[in-house]
Amino acid sequence: MSRIEHWILAAILCAGPLVAQPAAVPTVKAQGTGTVSVQPDQAHLTAAVVTQGATAEEAARLNASLTASLIAALRAKLGPNGTVQTSSYTVMPRYSTSNADAQKIVGYTASNSVSVTTNDLGLVGPLIDAANQAGANSVGGLSFGLKNPEPVMQSALALAAKQAMEHAAAIARGLGGRTGAIVSAEESSGVMPMARAFAGEAGGGTPIEAKTVTVSASVTVTAQLVQ
């Protein structure tokens, strides 16, 4: 036996017996969606104080005084029913609007924004009024949400999974078969808080109407196709 023949024989012995690969199992893939709308139990808004000064120190000092009053007013209105925290703070130079002095600093602007979260939706209007009365230059970013969206998410996912399986079964029937074991399932979900615009009302407080919060989920399933 030649050397080449020895090599071929050794390769065959090392490879072992050939194993037939199983045939791929046919599958069907379908997607389902689920949506659940509930009443919100939490609200968020922002309030900002903007001040100007000839120097950065002056702008910041004026801002600090007004912001302290704003935070005190908001906390007094909130009591134990929410939180107030700083969301952004900047001190920036202001430049001349004249083309000849475009790079000349003519003063400074300080801005301090605070975020307010409350679990008492009845306080939203009074909080807006308190912020305006305390010297806030702008109040906005109002949105409604859920303290714990997880149970609602699970309900939406269950609806989405059920619809996905129904779609998969319909596809299988159209192909002359039925669905078998689930091969895979993937999900995505999200909370969609609904914001509500607001405006002051002459002779009264700010009217606020909370909308529902919508939680949507999508599930994609892959199931075996049994003929």
Give the start-to-end residue ranges of the domains of the chain: 23-39+149-226, 42-145
What is the CATH number that goes with domain 23-39+149-226? 3.30.110.170
What pLDDT shows up at residue 16?
A: 53
What pLDDT shows up at residue 197?
A: 41
pLDDT at residue 11 is higher than 60? no
Task: Using CB atoms within 10 Å of the CB of residue 92, give its burial: 0 to 12 exposed, 13 to 18 middle, 19+ buried.
Answer: exposed
197 versus 96: which is more confidently predicted? 96
Chain segment 156-203, per-residue pLDDT in tens: 999 999 999 999 999 999 999 999 999 999 997 666 655 444 433 333
User: Is-above-0.85 flag for pTM?
Assistant: no
> How confident is residue 17, by pLDDT bands cut at 50, 70 and 90?
low
What pLDDT shows up at residue 199?
A: 39
pLDDT at residue 7 is higher than 60? no
Report d(CA 162, CA 49) in Å as an integer: 50
Contact 170, 221 (CB under 8 A): no
DSSP states of the chain as a string? --HHHHHHHHHHHHH-S--PPPPPPPEEEEEEEEEEEE---EEEEEEEEEEEESSHHHHHHHHHHHHHHHHHHHHHHHTTSEEEEEEEEEEEEEE-SSSTTTT-EEEEEEEEEEEEEES-GGGHHHHHHHHHHTT-SEEEEEEEE-S--HHHHHHHHHHHHHHHHHHHHHHHHHTT-EEEEEEEEEEEEEEEPPP------TTS--------EEEEEEEEEEEEEE-
Average confidence (pLDDT) over 49-55: 96
The CATH H-level (homologous superfamily) assignment of domain 42-145 is Protein of unknown function (DUF541), domain 2 (3.30.70.2970)
